[in-house]
Structure 1
Amino acid sequence: MREILPALGEWYAAGSPFALATVVAVSRSAPRDPGAAMAVGPGDEVVGSVSGGCVEGAVFELAQEVLASGEARSATFGYGDDDAFAVGLTCGGEITLLVRRVTAAEDPSFGRVVETVGAGQPVTVATVTDGPGRRGATLAVWPDEAGGTFGTLGTAGLDAAVAADARGELAQGVTATRHYGPHGERREDAVAVFLHSFAPPPRMLVFGAIDYAAAVARIGDFLGYRVTVCDARPVFATPQRFPAGVEVVVDWPHRYLRGTATDDRTVVCVLTHDPKFDVPLLEEALRRPAAYIGAMGSRRTHEDRTRRLREAGLGTAELSRLRSPVGLDLGARTPEEVAVSVAAEIVALRWGGSGMPLTATTGLIHPPAPPG
């Protein structure tokens, strides 16, 4: 939903009601993950997607009904359903949607949520999707007591239990459904609450302000990363050489990384292919949390770099994390093609993909997301 929030914020600020359809559950080879969203606003304008085109027509009709009635609705589309075939869900999966009307009166927290996400800050939106509670009721939860909560799911006990769980899930960036009794008891047969975590965007740290870095930064921004490019050479590390919104830092790479927080979602791309930069930088990177650490260079460069890193004290387990030479084998030549190769490897590693052509594989095209 993050990508459509600016448009939703404009509708909300203008006082224009809109219907928001959110994927709250998936199974098998579903095309989108929980949290994917589509909205129908003024003039029947549509933003977002819940299935990559499979069921959007049916969801549009359902959204119009919700806009007219104000009553939240849920709907499930599955491969084995006649309705699913009729609307085009032939990907083999199943998705469950919640569609609710959003106005300032019905969801007074929505504007603050949009501002929070736009500022890159964390927040969770909890929504009742099923059970004896009011379907579509929302509670916005900020990560600490100072941020507080906004809205209600029906009872103080339920709000307190959901807020506690939401803060825990937000710390892990987890979006999922949890079940509660009417007063917050942990029960599987009562109120279903969808916890949609808006964690800050993951970081992509690109080292080496070369033309390849500009292309990698551009595709990183496209994939939703908060991108920083770092180089010790001020003549190359200039904002004018990189896409708008990309942070450009002039510093020695290893020194900058040493003073920068990373986590299990952080991507590190080392494109300097110069030992005086690479080795101390990778020595630092391979000893800290990161989702992906890739380094550019020839196979000879990789062998020399590995030898130097071993001499610096790194072991086999640490060196096994290094993706070098960086990227998948696509036959890439230009900076833009190389950036696609790097991005493909990052995506494959994130979701457990093989990197093989789909025509050479069997099984689910869209496997379930890994836990957490």
Structure 2
Amino acid sequence: MSDPCAVAHGDAPAETAERTLVAVFASPVADHLLTIGAGLGYRTALYDPAEHAELPALDDNTDVVVTDHHRDELGPVLADVLAGPVRWVGVMGNPRHPGPHVEALKQLGVAAEDIDRVHRPVGLNIGSRTPPEIAIATLAGLIADRSGRPGGFEF
């Protein structure tokens, strides 16, 4: 393990596992997720079914963040993501409103235990209002979750 002070001062690299961040659907939040995520050591990829034929490779070190819950492709994309061994998957949205992904996945016959794997909301409750703030809250939550810390996905 690296000395935390050395890491903070840039004298030692932070320890990172091979990890991938996939932002689903092109959006301003996705742009910030990918830019900031790359700086955090993620391999990053954008998947938008309107522009790409298939999902990038997913594994148990992949975190997937769906950045638009109003798209018609939401259910099929999530069903494809859940069919793989992703580490974490979440859909942006207001926690005070029901997530449209639940019904979309039920209609596709996705098992309840797989639907329950989808996190919503996706970030820490910091009052974020802008795309960069939403991206920071989301990435902070992913870091907390990956580290087994209580970071705050509870609202």
Largest Rg, 1 or 2: 1
Alignment correspondent of 2:43: 226
Structure 1's consecutive aligned runs of 4 or more residues displaced over 6 angstroms after TM superposition are none
> Identity over the aligned pairs, expressed in percent?
30
Alignment correspondent of 1:52: 5
Q: Give the residue type in structure 2 aligned to 1:332.
A: S
In structure 2, the gaps of 5 or more residues are none
CA contact (8 A) 1:275 1:305 kept: no
Q: Give the residue type in structure 2 aligned to 1:227.
A: T
Query: Of 21, 29, 32, which aligns to 1:204?
Result: 21
The Cα offsets for residues 314-360 of structure 1, whole Å up to 9 and x where unpaired, read as 2221112111122121111111111111011111111111125xxxx
Q: Distance in 2 between matches of 1:335 and 1:319?
A: 26
Matches within 5 A, 1:25-174: 34=1, 36=2, 50-53=3-6
In structure 1, the gaps of 5 or more residues are 1-33, 37-49, 61-197, 234-249, 357-372
SS at match of 1:256: coil
Alignment correspondent of 1:354: 150
Scaled by the length of structure 1, the TM-score of the pair is 0.36
CA contact (8 A) 2:74 2:104 kept: no
CA contact (8 A) 1:212 1:271 kept: yes
Alignment correspondent of 1:287: 83
Q: Give the residue type in structure 1 aligned to 2:5.
A: G
Q: Give the residue type in structure 1 aligned to 2:28.
A: D
CA-CA distance at 1:280 after TM superposition = 0.5
What is the aligned residue count? 146
Alignment correspondent of 1:344: 140
Alignment correspondent of 1:214: 31
Q: Distance in 1 between matches of 2:110 and 2:49?
A: 24
Higher-RCO chain (CA-CA 8 Å, sequence separation at least 6): 2
CA contact (8 A) 1:262 1:290 kept: yes
Q: Distance in 2 between matches of 1:282 and 1:269?
A: 10
Alignment correspondent of 2:115: 319
Question: What's the Cα RMSD here?
Answer: 2.5
